[in-house]
Amino acid sequence: MSGASAPATTTGACALGVSIEQSLISLYDQQLANVTSYADVTRAFLALRSASAENHLPAFEVCS
């Protein structure tokens, strides 16, 4: 993110975190179809998606 500035408030940072985690979840959902023949990559994507959906996103939602 060249030239991007940090959010001015904690609430703003948390709102940005919500947006980023939602984007990451969508990215994993889209890319899972492309890695079905790679079990290790599929497991990694599923673990990362789960961490985003079940841990990171709820934490950012609470503070935003």
Q: Which tens digit of pLDDT belongs to each residue from 27-56?
A: 999 999 999 999 999 999 999 999 999 999
What pTM did the predictor assign? 0.87
Looking up tokens 């030239």 gives 3
- Flag whether 20 is in a domain: yes
| Range(s) of the domain holding residue 44 | 16-63
Number of structural domains (the chain) is: 1
Residue 31: what are its φ and ψ, rounded to 5°?
Answer: -80, -20
- Flag whether 35 is in a domain: yes
- Flag whether 3 is in a domain: no
- Flag whether 21 is in a domain: yes
